[in-house]
Structure 1
């Protein structure tokens, strides 16, 4: 009986979209404010190339301080790796240097968790879903779980070590929660489902937030958050960005606000973003544009894509809105992608552009709920005028739908991985199924080489940092490197990749650091680089330093920021 009940619960999760009142949702559908806008072909479009196999479906991903990528998945009845105990692995460590992968073990089901880096460099996965003992009796309930993973740029003995779960728990169950590391190193954790059932029933939902301390241990209190309460059921996996005054930008559905965590209050209610829904189950992409001292680290946020309701018939939204939430009169500046996209995600690149990949032109998040995969990379240049920022890069041949990820590697290339839009792994298409199994579980790992690494691009080399421990207090450090012959402008970038899942890049940010000492045309360069003024601008944790010359990055190096 227990097995049957668990199967029934999983089916309810799979068909959650059907349980939402689609008719009511369709009443909100309107023609997007912006129609699709052509994006000219990029002069240098970049290249997609398959390089390996992920071992496990890559539902969640993150670049670790050892330069490897961790993939995290839910409990499955098949992966490419078995653990020593004979069970399938649901997490894996991928080495981009060799394109090899090794399985990792965890103790609780990480299905649709959130996560962040702690100030001490550990990566945490937060929340999840119920145990599936009929598939794997060794994995327990993940709804309140906190999982820790430790990797180091200086201690190779940690490579390949399993997830640690000492028993710390969230104060309430959270499936589809967002996490944001705060300036003091605590972690803000918001939203989620209490049981994975119909989100149109408020009793199933968890529209609250809680705080983890710097060690990743919950305060034990879940606090109601009004913007989540009022936007049910389109309230899960909210977009959250840390602003340079220490407040948070929170976006749910179509609504946005500036929220002060310490005072537990909304500081500014922003105008709604025109167009369709933007967060789960019609998630688009959200990115905090590169920060610099040129405008006093003022934040600007771009949100693109989305959809109308949770069904395979849903149209997707081509429009994008950008906003400066701390300006005197924050308003959305609108532009459009060349087509509607759901599940599109944005990754900051070291040259200051943003790459948008993955997603669909029709449908929504959920098992078997998307079709018309969007294969083109879109290159976004925020230095251009609104409406002229998009160009079209090269195309992949692999559909990347529900449960896909993209993230920047140390060599400045983009890893694109995942897509598992089915209840359990499917290796060959099974058409005419409900939910659809036209799209299979995808294990192929792709590398997208951006335009700046093509046409015999010359990297800066022999980069040496005066310290790998840096402080966000305006203090200086030294960078020595060899610049390419004939270089023009060299910059230093501080980069945080964060926790990637479901089109969200939690904690993702990039900063252009002030520097002096550059000698035009010289091969040997010694720069004095100034750190950001405080942890509001760069919260504590692991970052990558990229030196770029003419937009071409050297191989990045991990540092710890305090």
Structure 2
């Protein structure tokens, strides 16, 4: 077949597949893509999955007209808005995962580059933003897909300091620590405790690029907080508000906004005494200040056992240099690295060469064998894009607006499509391994012993895992509050057509803060559809 004919055949394949809503390149790489929503109305900058199997999407409130209008009589009035003084367009929506239908929500203040976290009762907390949202606190109490829940902006309480580009993390007692922000080198708590507390570490690591923004914050099973900013990290004791440990610098330069790496804490398991942090990707130092859109991103990853007495960073390289990649903890304990670009930095129109290939990080493999390149997509997901694990094991991809306002005629246009990526564990040849949960308690207390009933098409071989995955707040290449906890389980025991698995709940809120989790049964690397479980004290 000559090259021109081959190109034509490939083009027909790509266009036909895209129109049908499911896309796969003509190769043997794992994973598949699906178009869920052709026009979500907004480009999601912040995305979170609720325990009612809906997804909350948020954009800036001063973006100008979106593609979705608020219900009649619901308008926002802001004399300082540069585009619309009377704004009757929605800048937040909720997606029903069962029907893929979109419902507009009303947000009153600007959530641009805000932070968020789910509270123990499943309420989504949104904090800070820009302009009139700088010190605002908002709540979204989710409801069933046919309900009419909406945002509630608190009037009697606000942040002690304005926070733009901050990070939230739920704590063992169910409160939330809010870390940093642009020109805000402090922490504070919700519910409010004592106002803002100065954190000199954030000031020390700030450079001209502001690479201490959206710090990577992880709650360790010790109860201390791991805070990473620029190229350094500290251990923070939130009970006494003091830094109790410094970690060695991570080689390779800054990783936080606008250098745009990403980070996860690997699955907690065993006796839960060990916590491993991984930080991957980033821009070349100076790319943001020099507005160098073609400066190649680097692909180095650092991995550190944060609970060791004398930890060091173990370095390795991804198959691609990547900025603005999202790291998503899968139910299996593997990590999906998706979205982003191979050149430039974070910021409006600052990145080029989209990185369309997802990568699977397999933490149990030796260095050199941990990364697997997956089937590429066709939609560039650059600045202001998100990735979230769904209860059925797919990963939701939303957003990408590398422009100050919505622009649909550009090299990288504002993106309103929502997609789902299915990892290889959802492929047809593994369907006979996929378990189904038939029975699990809706509420589980710390340390409680309980049973999970599952069915599997083929007889069970080996251990069926039961793993709890949180629902994080994804924004700017970091998922705030993301964690996966592997429970202690007994061997699956046949019980008629089902198997019974004995499980022990997480021991305390340091391992699994109170709240709603997706409970997955995992059989030979294939997860079930999750059941939502509330972990309580």
Give the TM-score range, shorter chain: 0.7 to 0.9
Quick check: 1:164 aligned with 2:172? no
Q: Confirm or deny: 8 A CA contact 2:339 2:380 kept in the other structure.
A: yes
Quick check: 1:421 aligned with 2:402? yes
Query: 2 CA distance for matches of 1:463 and 1:382?
Result: 30
Give the alignment partner of residue 300 of structure 1, picking from 269, 276, 299: 276
Structure 1 residues 274, 284: closer, same or farther in 2, change over 3 A?
Answer: same
Q: Confirm or deny: 8 A CA contact 2:54 2:145 kept in the other structure.
A: no
Q: Indicate the SS of the match to 2:213.
A: coil
Query: 1 CA distance for matches of 2:264 and 2:189?
Result: 23
Quick check: 1:328 aligned with 2:309? yes
1:276 deviation in Å? 2.1
Taking the TM superposition and a 5 Å limit, the aligned residue runs for 1:104-503 are 104-130=105-131, 141-152=132-143, 159-167=147-155, 168-193=157-182, 205-213=183-191, 218-219=192-193, 221-232=195-206, 233-293=210-270, 296-307=272-283, 308-309=285-286, 310=288, 311=291, 312-429=293-410, 438-458=411-431, 459-465=434-440, 467-472=441-446, 474-488=447-461, 489-503=463-477
1:263 deviation in Å? 1.8
Matched with 2:34 is 49
Give the alignment partner of residue 64 of structure 2, picking from 62, 73, 77: 77
Q: Please, which runs of 5 or more residues in structure 2 have no aligned partner?
A: 1-25, 76-87
Structure 1 residues 362, 301: closer, same or farther in 2, change over 3 A?
Answer: same
TM-score (norm: length of structure 1): 0.83
1:226 deviation in Å? 1.6
Q: Confirm or deny: 8 A CA contact 1:42 1:391 kept in the other structure.
A: no
1:338 deviation in Å? 1.4
Query: 2 CA distance for matches of 1:355 and 1:166?
Result: 36
Q: Indicate the SS of the match to 2:250.
A: coil
Q: Which moved more, 1:162-171 or 1:235-244?
A: 162-171
Query: 2 CA distance for matches of 1:532 and 1:44?
Result: 36
Quick check: 1:102 aligned with 2:106? no
Structure 1 residues 543, 522: closer, same or farther in 2, change over 3 A?
Answer: same
Structure 1 residues 529, 42: closer, same or farther in 2, change over 3 A?
Answer: farther
1:417 deviation in Å? 1.1
Q: Indicate the SS of the match to 1:421.
A: coil
CA offsets, 1:368-413, max 9 Å, x none? 1111110001011111012310010000111101000001111111
Query: 2 CA distance for matches of 1:369 and 1:235?
Result: 18
Q: Indicate the SS of the match to 2:169.
A: strand
Q: Confirm or deny: 8 A CA contact 1:93 1:160 kept in the other structure.
A: no
1:58 deviation in Å? 0.6
Q: Indicate the SS of the match to 2:151.
A: coil
Query: 2 CA distance for matches of 1:124 and 1:317?
Result: 34
Q: Indicate the SS of the match to 1:228.
A: helix
Query: 1 CA distance for matches of 2:118 and 2:174?
Result: 9
1:283 deviation in Å? 1.5
Give the alignment partner of residue 508 of structure 1, picking from 468, 482, 507: 482
Q: Confirm or deny: 8 A CA contact 1:276 1:317 kept in the other structure.
A: no
Give the alignment partner of residue 560 of structure 1, picking from 521, 527, 534: 534
Structure 1 residues 400, 411: closer, same or farther in 2, change over 3 A?
Answer: same
Q: Confirm or deny: 8 A CA contact 1:370 1:401 kept in the other structure.
A: yes
Q: Indicate the SS of the match to 1:394.
A: coil
1:497 deviation in Å? 2.3
Query: 2 CA distance for matches of 1:317 and 1:413?
Result: 27
Q: Confirm or deny: 8 A CA contact 2:471 2:516 kept in the other structure.
A: no
CA offsets, 1:198-225, max 9 Å, x none? xxxxxxx111000112xxxx23511111
RMSD: 1.8
CA offsets, 1:434-485, max 9 Å, x none? xxxx2111011111011001034322225211x211122x111221121221
CA offsets, 1:510-539, max 9 Å, x none? 011111251379851111210111110001
Matched with 2:52 is 66
Matched with 1:22 is none
CA offsets, 1:165-208, max 9 Å, x none? 13121001001110011111111101112xxxxxxxxxxx1110
Query: 2 CA distance for matches of 1:514 and 1:326?
Result: 20
Structure 1 stretches of at least 4 aligned residues deviating more than 6 Å after TM superposition: none
